[in-house]
Amino acid sequence: MNYMFLIYSQEIAEGLPPEDAMAIMEGHRAVLGEAAAKGILVSADALKPTATATTVRGNGSGYLTLDGPFAETKEQLAGYYILNCDDLDEAIEWAKRIPTACKGATGCIEIRPLHGVQIPAPSAPKA
């Protein structure tokens, strides 16, 4: 089953010292390298800071487009992994290894199983 690992970190204005940022990146490379070697890595990426976010919210009569995520939280979504794990226990063991200080201060990993919805490819236009 595919599990999404949502990486939450605390964005700090001054950012990380370069040596700390490098150590965190090496931590991610190690986890991703091992997951790829085991054949369970589906996808992973980092997110740009929350200042670059846009929220589209339905309001009953239409949609509002707003700057920012507007989440009341001390931790911000920093990135994700998608790994194909046998079960939740395996997913938890992987989550324990994922660095969470990506944006400056430590955070947490939220694990969510994916439904595996199959989206059909668009059909070719009829001539």
| pLDDT value at 17 more than 90 | no
pLDDT in the model for residue 127 = 67
pLDDT at 72: 60
pLDDT of residue 98: 94
Residue 85 domain-assigned? Answer: yes
Give pLDDT, residue 71.
Answer: 60
Domain membership flag for residue 124: no
> For 90-93, which contacts have Cβ atoms below 8 Å and span 24 or more sequence positions?
91/3, 91/5
Q: What is the pLDDT of residues 35-89, one digit of tens each?
A: 999 999 999 999 888 888 888 888 888 888 888 766 666 778 889 999 999 999 9
Give me the pLDDT at residue 32, please: 97
* Residue 41 lies inside a defined structural domain of this protein: yes
24 assigned to some structural domain? yes
- Per-residue model confidence as pLDDT tens digits over 90-125: 999 999 999 888 777 778 899 999 988 778 878 877
Domain that holds residue 8: 2-113
In a domain, 34, yes or no: yes
CATH assignment at residue 101: 3.30.70.1060
Residue 78 φ then ψ, to 5°: -105, -25
What integer is the mean pLDDT of 12-37? 91
Question: Is 118 a member of any domain?
Answer: no
pLDDT at 5 over 80: yes
pLDDT of residue 88: 94
Number of domains within the chain: 1
In a domain, 93, yes or no: yes
In 39-119, alpha helices (H): 88-95
Strand runs labelled E in 1-127: 2-11, 41-46, 54-58, 63-67, 76-84, 104-113
